[in-house]
Amino acid sequence: MTNNSPYADRRARLAAQLGAGGIAIVPTAPERQRNRDSDYLFRHDSYFFYLTGFTEPNAWLVLEGNGRSTLFCAPKDLEREIWDGYRLGPEAAPHALGVDAAWSIDELDKQMPRLLENREVVWYNFATHKGLETRVDQWLQTVRARVRYGAICPEEQRDLCGPLDEMRLVKDAHELDVMRKAAAISAKAHIRAMKLSANMLRKGDDVREYHLDAELLHEFRLNGSQYPAYGSIVAAGANACVLHYRADVAPVKDGDLVLIDAGCELDGYASDITRTFPANGRFTGPQRALYDLVLASQDAAVAATKAGARFTDPHEATVKVLAQGLLDLKILDAKKLGTAEDVIEQRAYFPFYMHRTGHWLGMDVHDCGSYVEPSQIGETSERKDPLSGETITNRPSRILRPGMVLTIEPGLYVRPTEGVPDEFWNLGIRIEDDAVVTETGCELISRGVPVKADEIEALMKA
Ligand SMILES: [Mn+2]
């Protein structure tokens, strides 16, 4: 890897924000025990990976305000490598990763106080790594013990998440490239699961949610994805009304809708797609009516997603369409509630649509980044929530910029409710796509799997 790598570029951009006397400490994730001597599959820390591209456990990055970078990593150990696999090692790390220096992880406690000596500000991620503050304190104590020999101990500790989250919020070209690939793989996996569902039902097989989950995993791995980016939701029938349902053992029945919310992680980047489809390949009338309403609300949200708009604009566009549609379908009673504006004012849609229309997407499926516009953080307003009666302080929502990536995922979830036509009972529908904000609109990178009801029916035909 050369110094022109995206990682070197990010380190340089971060170093410029640390100040001349600043130094940043970034550990990767710890290994975690699952049971007895089995560990959970290791997954690097997103911040650490963002700055190094390095996926081994037991590693730390130290970055100085002048741009100098030091890596601590597991030392070469042929005997351990026979058991646990290849290690890069500190000798090869500078060339491979473009860092200026590298040490064995065994040197961490000895070298870190030397690195921290005579600095003004220590930066590290607050509240992300258990025990990190204590480690930093211990190193600073060592520095403090040397004050009487003329050493200066840093007086200030600052949260590195501040500058790093802002950087991660706007994706660079390398990140967008990987995210497009991840979304394309996930789209293919959704198509595969849809087809299997209809094919198995046509054969009269006993279809279970885990059969569809297996199709997702197969397609992810077949295309080089390391693992799902989050626990896949495969929810048949009424299970779709449970927002955080997982892929379980419930039967997928002829006449059911199936909601799949699943995306692969590829080379450190998440994708996040939801599709809702008829298990047998054909929507019923009420299913189709509700589906088309959610899709229309998504269309409105997509149209509202562009540079210069607020993060909340797609949500507001969604709610407008859903409120009118719920009245039209008589799921909400116009005689009691009035117009769509009244429904929105009273938040009467909330029992059927209780989540936001999107979130940032990146290395983490619910990616980092403030949802408040930093340039307007002091401009607060207050409103009273019509449902809880609580007073809520609003801050101006984030202004979207090109390169930000967010999901657009409206839904409707109709539990059995008196006064609601029972043809809609137990239907749960969500449609979720991944959008890259552009100057004039947004690029939907997850449309390798169709969303239009007719197109879904067409692909599920024998
Ligand atoms: Mn999502």
pLDDT tens digits, residue range 63-113?
999 999 999 999 999 999 999 999 999 999 999 999 999 999 999 999 999
Concatenate the DSSP letters of all residues of 260-328 into one string. EEE-EEETTEE--EEEEEETTS---HHHHHHHHHHHHHHHHHHHT-STTSBTTHHHHHHHHHHHHHHHH
Residues with Cβ within 8 Å of 207's Cβ and at least 6 positions away in sequence, in order, are 197, 200, 201, 251, 252, 253, 279
**DSSP category for residue 204:** T
Query: Which CATH code of 3.40.350.10, 3.40.50.9100, 3.40.50.2300, 3.40.50.1980 fits the domain covering 6-168?
Result: 3.40.350.10
CA of 133 to the centre of ligand 1 (A): 31
Residues designated as active site: 37, 244, 261, 272, 355, 359, 366, 409, 413, 430, 432
pLDDT at 3: 55
Given CATH 3.40.640.10, say whether it is the number of domain 170-461: no
Residue whose structure tokens are 């601590």: 72
Please give the Cα distance from 408 to 443 (Å, whole number). 11
Q: Locate the domains of the chain by residue range.
A: 6-168, 170-461
Q: Enter the tokens of residue 66.
A: 């002048």
> Which residues of the chain, if any, have pLDDT below 70?
1-4
Q: What is the pLDDT of residue 4?
A: 65
Q: What confidence score (pLDDT) does residue 26 get?
A: 98
Q: How far is the CA of 57 from the centre of ligand 1 (A)?
A: 28
Q: How far is the CA of 114 from the centre of ligand 1 (A)?
A: 44
Burial (CB count <10 Å: 0-12, 13-18, 19+), residue 341: exposed
- Burial state string for 171-207 with b = 16 or more CB within 10 A and e = fewer than 16: beebbbebbbbbbbbbbbbbbbbbbbbbebbeeeeeb
> What separation in Å is there between the alpha carbon of 273 and the centre of ligand 1?
7
b/e map of 374-396 (b: 16 or more CB within 10 Å)?
Answer: eeeeeeeeeeeeeeeeeeeeeeb
Per-residue confidence (pLDDT) for residue 221, from 0 to 100: 98
> Is residue 398 a contact partner of residue 377, using CB atoms and an 8 Å limit?
no
pLDDT for 462: 79
Which helix (H) or strand (E) segment holds residue 22: the answer is strand 22-27
